[in-house]
Each structure stands twice: as structure tokens, then as C-alpha cells.
A and B are shown apart, each in its own frame.
Chain A
């Protein structure tokens, strides 16, 4: 089969599954069949993706197939299609593999849901995979934007999956609004690019000024989608969604779409050094800031959420340094180990019926497989040498070394220490130490849940060794060499773990924990946005509503009133008395005569 057809099948298969579930309501309402339909769709996608991959291993060339989507006169204003190259194929594999693992995990994890909710859950999963694949295979920025918005929609619906809970409902709309706010940047970027070049291609070469504008606007959308400072606040709240959803959307794939966008639009970003400078700093600040907050979270999912924001910060920083490949590589390894961490956390939550780290403890004996999976994920995230995360993080940090980026480099090294430190805290608190009341009743999850963990553990361990191959796919340079960065980075990881054991092993608290907790509970960024929404938006809105009702419409009423009142007054002239009319005739004659005389 031709590569373009394979890519189309990979994209459309989940859409067919979703459509089937939407139209044939009994399938959805019964629950279990919905899971099978969705899994089948994802399996077809993954199969097509693997065949595409094999084609590329055999040396297949890049393929780009498009068809006009909006026709204007004799030319296509917008096109849709597929692009198969060294970026889209690995990404497709990552997305489909993680999605399939997460969906398999969900079969057991969501088992206690009522059948209708279960069916809805899997329908949304199918919709998500379709939307995400639109992003991955898109040949231009407009289609990428369409998929980008659609993943935002499924994210909104999945965060709000437990819509009876007011907090979940609030988190869902918050996530949608924050990302939508940022997406205005995407739309403006598209418009500027369109006006300047007449197309939505990332390969176009506009003037430097236009490139700066376009990339800056696109980056605003990246800040929103990839939860960068100061729009990161929706991500921790998004943890209201079911845990597998957090693993797939809010850790592995959807939030990484921002990074993917920059990797895709690299030719444009290459023309805009100013934007890159800003990206470098936004990424660095987010990496450090979020890592600090991850240290004091009491909810295991929130630790991972802040950790995701922090790791996305690393990727953004690498992109800012002009090393798109480093960012892309870290995206890939992160997708595996963070999905693994979230699913393992899900397994724990399922066992202890709580998100709180206080309710865990001593789980390593009760849940050995889950513990092993979580520890592998944590070591990979911490960047311990040999694990996948080490290679990609090393590349990110290496891309900053010696290019006048010493301050970000140092900060990110510090953040690497923090990463190991906060993951150490979670591992110790959840799996070592004393059992809590809830964790004493816990037992290992079944194979349906531990199976996907084992599958994801393999790339979390080993995908780091694929760096060279991935680099050859995207035509980037990649050398592993022993220099300053890998030595410092691995020392940071190991120091962080040791520090965690020393501090938390005895049940202690992190240094500066008080300050960080205050920062976390006060949440200045959150409050600023909230008051902006309440005062800026709703306040102006109610003013507008009042003006419309009582001034604009009031004027209309006044016009009607004046007509009626005027009529009522004028009516008094019609007295019906002959003498009044005679008087008027006389007055009229006199006036006319006077006018005649005076002229």
C-alpha cells in the first residue's frame, strides 16, 4: 500500500471508530463494545504507522499528498492532506503506541464506570486519536491548527468527564479558555503568514520581520498548549480528568503538540532569532518554576502535572536554542516515561482509592510490578545514565552548552537536580516508608493494567538508544560524547536522588518547602488570570449588557415615547372648535402676507 494511503488510514481509522460509536448508540450505551471498537481503531492506526516506519527503514522517501479544501477562483486557498517524513512517522508511532497502551489500561481502570459513561469515555478517546493524528500528519499549518483545536476539544470533554463534579467542570472550561486564549496567537500567526505569502506552508520564506511576527504569534499558542509560564495554570487543574486521560493527553501527546508545532515550523523559526531568544527564557523559567512547585504537591498526579510542565520547559528551551531535534527527541522519550509514570500512578490510585501521597506509603511490597514501573519511569525522568530520559535531556542541555547560554544551562542543571529530588520524594513517600490506613488494603492491579505498564517500560528504558536513528530521519546531527554536560547532568540526577533519600527517607521536609507551599497555595498567576476574567471580561460584559438594555435600547424606546407624546401634544391642536380653526387661518394669512411684504 502506498505511504499516503497508510497515513490516511492511520488518521481516519479512529474517526471511523468514533463515528460508529456516535451513530450506533447501543454500542456506546453498552460500554464494553465501545472499548473494543476504539481499540480496534487504534490498533489499525498503530499497524499503519508501523508499516510506514518499516517503509522508512527501507529508505522510503518523503511523501506529500494534498487536495484543495477551500477553493477560491482557480487556486486553492487552503489544502488538506498528509505529509510523511522523518518527523511525522516517529511521532505517529509515539502517539498511536501510547494511545493504545492507555486505552488498554483504561479498559480495566474505568471498569467501575456505568456502561454509558464507559462508552462515552472510549468514544472520546477515538475522537482524540483522530484529532491528534490530524496534527501529526498535517502538511501545512492550517490543518495543524484544525487538529490542534480538535485535541483541545477532546481535552475539554475528557477533563470534564466527571461532569457531575463542579471542580471537574470548572477545570474543563478553564483548560479550554486558557488554551483558546493562546490559540488566538495561532490564528493571527496564520493570518499574517497568509497575507504575506498567500499560503499556510511552514516552508515559505517571508521577510525576517514577517517571520518574527508569525513565529512570535505561534509561540503564544505554544505557551498555552504546552502549559508554559504564565499560562501553565490549566494543566494542574486538568488532573480532574481520569488518570489515563492525564497520561495520554496531558503528559504524553496533546501538550507536546506545542513542541511538535515548533519542530514542524522550524524553517520559520530559524528566520526569527528574537522569538527563539524569548522561547529559551520562557522554557527555562517554566522548567525551574514548575519543578519547584512539583516538590510540594500532596497529590501524586499534581506532582506529575508540574513535572510535565517542567519537562516541556526543557523542550521549549532546546527549541529556543535552535536545536529542534533535541526538543523532538526529548518529546519522544518523555512521552513514554511520563505516560508510564501516570499509568503507574493510576494503578496506585486504583488500589488505594486516593490521589493523596499521604494515603500511600509502603506500597512496594503490595504492588511490586507497579513499583518497578514507576521507579523505571522516575529514573528515566530524573535522567539517570542509561535510561531514555538521560540521553534526551543530555542533548537538550548540551544544546545550550557553550553558546552564550550559560545562565539557562545552569538553571536547567539546577532544575535537573530538582527533578531527581522531587521524583525521589514521590517514590519514597508512595512506595517506601510506612503503610497508611488506605495503602494497607491495597493489592497489585491485574494484568490488564500492569501489561500496558510493562509495554511502556521498554521504551522508557531503551528509547534513548534510538537517538541516532531519529536524528538520521530528521537529518540532524547527533553525537554522543563525554563532555561537561553529561557529567554534570548525571551528577545532578544522582545527587538529587541521594538528597531525596537523605531528606525524605527520614520523613523530613524539603528545604524551602514552607516558601514553596505558600507560593503554591497563594498561586499569584492563577489569581491574576481569575481577576482578569472576572473584572476584565465579565465586568465589561455586564457593563455592555446594561448599556445595551438601558441606553441603546432606551434611546429606541425614547424615540417611540417621543413619537407618542408628540402625537398626544399635537392632538390638542385638533380642538374641533370652528373659532380655533378660523384663528389659525387668520394667523396663517397674516404670516404669509408679512413674508411677502418683507421680501
Chain B
């Protein structure tokens, strides 16, 4: 029995612990240790993918260590097809994230430490098969964000306006402390809801266990389900940016340093969606089926409203942040369809959006580091001096708007197909409209930043990608195209899991069969 999953989680955590032993002056050593930790987890994630038997499906590579048997808590790790895809995503993003943080100057040891702890938590969530452990890892992943944004973030001013102007006296809206606090508080409220849902499941499971495999087989009373599902949806949904609890995201992502934005939008938001899917949809399916129309309707608001908000932004990071709100709406829409196409699309979109937004934030970081501004109105003609950045940025834009040949298309197309096939076929209409609005705002930004006459004055000599900075955009950009042309690389894993979970849910199967030909 291999311990691949345990190693995947432990590698960054151990690297983080080793960092404590490295003197603060040994900056290169610090980075190398972090990178090794990240690379080990990426390699083990790839090994997990190669060892996972798709023909068999289900949970594999199981490892169990009893923690508190009397309460039914076990350290139970195993991976399903969704987990394989999301482990790979996390591995890719953390490697790219460490590389993108190479130039962090202030308190870099603490920075890398927190980054590694965070990612260990993320890996843990994707493979935890015990609800208690799931929640534990979830919190480990979410909480470092407070420090990462509060300490290493950037502040800006938001003018006081509107009916709530008086609140400006209490908060420094737009500052990094404000962003960090808002993010943490909103997510903690979500966690509280999840905690309640968790204990409700535990108490009503009969066996008094947190084991998710046992909980899956349990048929919870419908009344319990109807309490649990909304708690799970909104609790995890807050992290997935579900409207109207998404407002931590634009400020948070705009204030966060490059690697933190990459990780947060790239993988952390996926934890939220994954929680709704893995716990909400799979554990309490009857309530999920009842709530699905509402989840889908809200997801549509996310898609369209998020895209429109993005179109109105003048700050580059806000555009990308709102685009995440919009794209996570696509994920939630896929989840709400409760059929294979929709679920496959949702998980694929998690990966596609993770890579794409990681690429976006990495490039925005590069531009910001050189131009020292994020206001797109001030930029223009940057493609003359930084053609490589311009090329990769365009690629990220294309995936964002769902162009065939990029991962974004495969994901969005499957979600829309799933929606059209489901009982609420009209969901596909605002979904596709949202993709059009995306085309408008990403290409507008692309044109404003990179096209136009050669830059003058302070921007005349911006440097293109340096040698050490090549890695992240190259890896992420290549993957966007590879996953766009060859979706089965990942989809075969994802589909096995979707089919497995759907097959066990009689309600859902009946729902899907209403319209299938």
C-alpha cells in the first residue's frame, strides 16, 4: 500500500516546517526548499493519476488512521476521479505560485511558510473522506489568507458613495486590512454554517460517524436534508463566490499579492464549489434536487452579473477578480444541473478556471511589478515592449471567453450542454450570454493594455518576461491549450466519478432521464 495521498499533503507541510530551520538570510535556500515541497506534491499528484484505475472507478488509494474512534473520527484519505483532477490542478498551481513568489522581498520566510501550509490544507480537502478531517483541512486552507493579505497585500482607496456612506467612518474600505478582514469574516460565517450542517449529519447518521462513505449510504430524513443543504450551499458557496456573498472576492483578490491571488482564485475558490458538490449534492441528494433550481438561478446571476461587473472595472485586478465570480458561477451552474454533462463540466471548469486565473494573476503581477499601476486607462501599447506577456495574456483571455482549443471551451460547453439537457433548459441562455460579455471585457482590457502606439514616458522601457519568470506562464499557458485540444486527459477521470455518484442517486437519475433522448 502506497502512501501517495499522505505524501501529497505532507510534502508542503514538511517543507514549511523545514523553512523554520532555514536562516532568514539564506533566501535562495528558502525558495528551493519551498519549491521542492511543491514539486514533490505535484509529482505525487501525477503518480496518483497514473495509479488510479479508471475502469474500476470509485475511491482508491485508501488510507485510514483512527483518530478519535469514540466520536467516529478517522484520518481517512482516498481519491476519486474528481479528486485526481483537482489534485493535479493544485499541484500545478502551487508550483507556479512558488515560482511567481520568487521576488517577494519582505518577510519572505513567513510568506512561503503560510503558502505551503495553505496548500497542504487544499490537498487535504480534495482527498479527505471523513467529514471532520474535511472541515479541518478546509480551515487550514482558508485561514492563512488573513495573514497573507493583511501583511503582504496592497491597499487602495475606494471613494465613499451610496446609501451606506456612513460605514466608511468605521472601515478603511479598499485597504488590505479591510480586504483581509472582510474575506476572513465572511468565510468564517460560512464555516459556522458548515459546522452546523456537519454535526446535523453526524447526529442523524445513526452510526454517529463522520465517515463520508457511510454517510453516502445513509438516507437522511428529508427534514434534516432540507436544513443541511442550504447550510452547505451557502457555507461553502461563500468561498465559491456565490451571489450575494461574493463581495469578499474582488477586494480580496485585488489586495492580495500575486501568488496569493493565484492560489486563492486558482484553487481555494474551488474548495467551495467542491464542498457543495461532494457534500451537498452527494450526501443529501433529495434536498439537493429540490434546491437545485434555486442554486442554478443564483449561479446564473453570478455568471451574468459577475461578467457585467467585470466589464465596468477600471482596475486590472478587479476585472480578473470579477471574472472569477462569473466563472465560478459556471461551476455552480454545472453542479446544479445534476447530470453527468453538467457535473463533468463543473469539475472541468474548476480546473480550467484554476489554470486560467492562475495565469492571469501571474501576468498581472508581472505587469504591476514593472508599471506600478493597475489602472488600465494609464496603460497602452505594452505589447511593443513585453510581447511575451501580451501573448500569454491573450491566451488567458481566450480561455476566459471560452474559445475552442482552450480548456475554457470544453468546460463551458459541457456545462451549457448539461444545463440544456436538464429540467431547466433555459439556464443555458444566460450562460452563453455571460460568455459573450466576457469576450467584451477581456478583449477590451487586452486592447487597452497591450495594443496601441508604443508606450511613452515612464512606461517606455518596461522589461519583458525575465528568465526566471518564464516557467509559470509557460506551464499554465501550455496546459490551457493541451486541455483544450485533448480534454480526455482529465475528463475520463472526472467522468468516472460523476457516473459513480450519479449512479448511486436514484432521485437524480430519474431527474436526468426526464429529458434525455
Contacts and interface: CB of A to CB of B under 8 A. Distances in A.
7 contacts: A77-B417, A172-B447, A176-B443, A191-B417, A545-B312, A549-B161, A553-B247
A555 B403 contact: no
Interface in A498-549: 533, 537-538, 540-546, 548-549
Contact of B417 (A170, A194, A538): A194
Nearest to B439: A180
Contacts of B341: 72, 77
B162 A191 contact: no
Interface in A56-109: 68-73, 77
Contacts of B381: 164
Contacts of B516: 198
A192 interface: yes
A195 B487 contact: no
B163 A69 contact: no
A140 B498 CA distance: 26
B439 A169 contact: no
Nearest to A157: B394
B403 A149 contact: yes
B333 to A, nearest CB: 14
Task: Provide the main secondary structure of the chain A interface.
Answer: helix
Given A77-B417, A187-B416, A69 B487 contact: yes
Given A71-B495, A72-B495, A166-B452, A551 B443 contact: no
Interface in A148-163: 149-150, 153, 156, 160, 163
Interface in A178-223: 180-181, 184, 187-188, 191-192, 194-198
B414 interface: yes
Contact of A561 (B167, B436, B491): B167
A551 B403 contact: no
A346 B12 CA distance: 60
A552 B420 CA distance: 30
Contacts of B251: 553
A543 B308 CA distance: 9
A72 B413 CA distance: 14
B185 A560 contact: yes
A68 to B, nearest CB: 7
A469 interface: no
B432 interface: yes
Contacts of B171: 557, 560-561
A177 B517 contact: no
Interface string A134-154: 000000000001110110010
Interface string B431-447: 01101110111011001
Contacts of B247: 548, 552-553, 556
A195 B425 contact: yes
B221 interface: no
B170 A550 contact: no
Nearest to A200: B417
Interface residues of B, number: 71
Contact of B170 (A172, A197, A552, A561): A561
Contacts of A560: 167, 170-171, 182, 185
Contact of A70 (B161, B173, B384, B410): B410
B453 interface: yes
B34 interface: no
Interface in A408-445: none
A551 B517 contact: no
Interface residues of A, number: 62
A558 B515 contact: no
B477 to A, nearest CB: 10
B164 A558 contact: yes
B167 A558 contact: yes
B439 A177 contact: yes
Nearest to A148: B404
A13 B2 CA distance: 44
B439 to A, nearest CB: 5
Contacts of B439: 176-177, 180
Contacts of A177: 439-440, 443
Contacts of B404: 145-147, 149-150
Nearest to A565: B170
A554 B488 contact: no
Contacts of B410: 70
B383 interface: yes
A564 interface: yes
Contacts of A537: 311, 437, 440
B487 A197 contact: no
Interface in B464-517: 487-488, 491-492, 495, 499, 515-517
A148 to B, nearest CB: 8
Interface string B319-335: 00000000000000000
Contacts of B403: 149-150, 153
Interface in B409-428: 409-410, 413-414, 416-417, 420-421, 425, 428
Contacts, number: 172
Chain A CB count within 10 A is highest, among B309, B383, B410, B441, for B309
A173 interface: yes
B83 to A, nearest CB: 19
Nearest to B488: A71
A195 to B, nearest CB: 5
Nearest to A533: B440
A469 B436 CA distance: 42
Contact of A540 (B185, B308, B488): B308
Contact of A548 (B161, B309, B387, B433): B309
A182 to B, nearest CB: 10
Given A73-B495, A77-B341, A146-B405, A191 B170 contact: no
Given A70-B488, A71-B492, A72-B340, 6 more contacts: A176-B439, A180-B436, A184-B432, A537-B437, A544-B305, A560-B182
B384 A150 contact: no
Contact of A196 (B308, B409, B436, B517): B517
Contacts of A546: 161-162, 312
Contacts of A188: 428-429, 432
Contacts of A187: 413, 416, 432
A550 B185 contact: no
A549 B161 CA distance: 9
B158 interface: yes
B311 A538 contact: yes
Contact of A557 (B167, B309, B495): B167
B420 to A, nearest CB: 4
Nearest first, the 7 closest Cβ-Cβ pairs linking A and B are A550-B162, A545-B312, A554-B164, A146-B404, A541-B311, A544-B308, A553-B247
B451 interface: yes
A191 B428 contact: yes
A184 B433 contact: yes
B164 A163 contact: no
B421 A153 contact: no
A192 B311 contact: no
A540 B440 CA distance: 13
Contacts of A169: 447, 451-452
A327 B401 CA distance: 32
A137 to B, nearest CB: 15
A540 B451 CA distance: 26
Contacts of B313: 545
A69 B492 CA distance: 10
A383 B108 CA distance: 74
B488 A557 contact: no
B186 interface: yes
B417 to A, nearest CB: 6
A70 B489 CA distance: 10
Contact of B158 (A172, A184, A549): A549
Contacts of B163: 550-551, 554
Contacts of A70: 410, 414, 487-488, 491
B421 A195 contact: yes
A550 B410 CA distance: 35
Contacts of A540: 308
Contacts of A543: 312
